[in-house]
Amino acid sequence: MMGATVILACRSEEKAKEAMTWMNAEFQAEKDRKTKEVVDYPELRIEFMKLDCASLQSVMDFVKEFKNSGRQLHILVCNAGIGLHKQAYTEEGYELMFQVNYLSQYLLAAHLLPIMKTSGEDCRIILVSSEAHRFCEFNLDRIQGKQFNEQNFGRLLFYGNSKAFQIMQMFSMNRRLQNSNVAVLSLHPGMVETELRRNFKDMTIFNIFTSLTKCVGKLKNPFEGAETTINAAVSPALRGVRDIYYDNCKPANIHNIVTNTQNQESLWTYTLDCLKKGDFLPEDIIKCLEGT
């Protein structure tokens, strides 16, 4: 039985290869555990492709390389994230968490959408958000935080905003894709022990909270933290399901700022304006995004 190819889109080839080695080992161990069962395992194929969401040009380079490969695309998992970073701006001038967690992944989904629309039934875009979206505000006038300085820049607020924007993108995209083969879902993976924590080691309260979470057994390892994402991506039960935010593989409530349709559409327009400035969204991609 032939299997699909998994593309790991990462900044670091070294980190990607470490992950690939781990994934292959886990896959082989699972096969070994099932030797007495009649299980037709697909071949596991994993490849690395470079992608740095802190650079919109890097996104475009990735898109070009992927398109040139001639591959179809059935599942796009937007999992890149940077958490509670100090005030910083990308080469394009956008607040770092806004771009890494939201804008670049929006751009990626936009350019890969035409491929997904021709890749067969039940294609899915999975936007990995966070419960931190509940700390958001919606104020386009200070969405980039340039009114603040390093001392009064609200790191949790701007992280929460970036995660809220992902969920808002789910609703906006699904309105435009409702008659297509592509559905968008969003989720909270849980509190997971990953390198995301490196950006807030200087924030005592968050380190205490994380330690307490670990003590009571609520801090997930990366394997456990992937469960909700994998379920959203491949569960047959979710075929055609849209506009659901999952936590622990179950539908969860969302902050009312995020579910506000006017906010969603205002963000959509703002996002398009951002990406049109650098000619990152040609007219054919915009038409595809808009469902035409």
Give the CATH number of the domain where residue 137 resides. 3.40.50.720
165 and 120 in a common domain: yes
In the predicted model, is pLDDT for residue 135 greater than 90?
Answer: yes
Provide the CB-side half-sphere exposure for 148 (13 A, CA).
Answer: 18
Asked if residue 196 belongs to a domain, the reply is yes
Higher pLDDT: 13 or 214? It is 13
What is the residue type of 228? Answer: T
214 and 81 in a common domain: no
**Residue 1 has what pLDDT?**
36
CA distance 167 to 259: 8
Average the pLDDT over 147-175 and give the result. Answer: 96
Asked if residue 158 belongs to a domain, the reply is yes
263 and 205 in a common domain: no
* Residue 82, both tokens: 């940077």
**Residue span of the structural domain in which 270 resides:** 77-189+227-289
Binning pLDDT at 50, 70 and 90, where does residue 43 land?
confident
Whole-model pTM: value is 0.90
Asked if residue 13 belongs to a domain, the reply is no
213: left (phi over 0), alpha (psi -120 to 50) or beta: alpha
Number of domains in the chain: 2
204 and 184 in a common domain: no
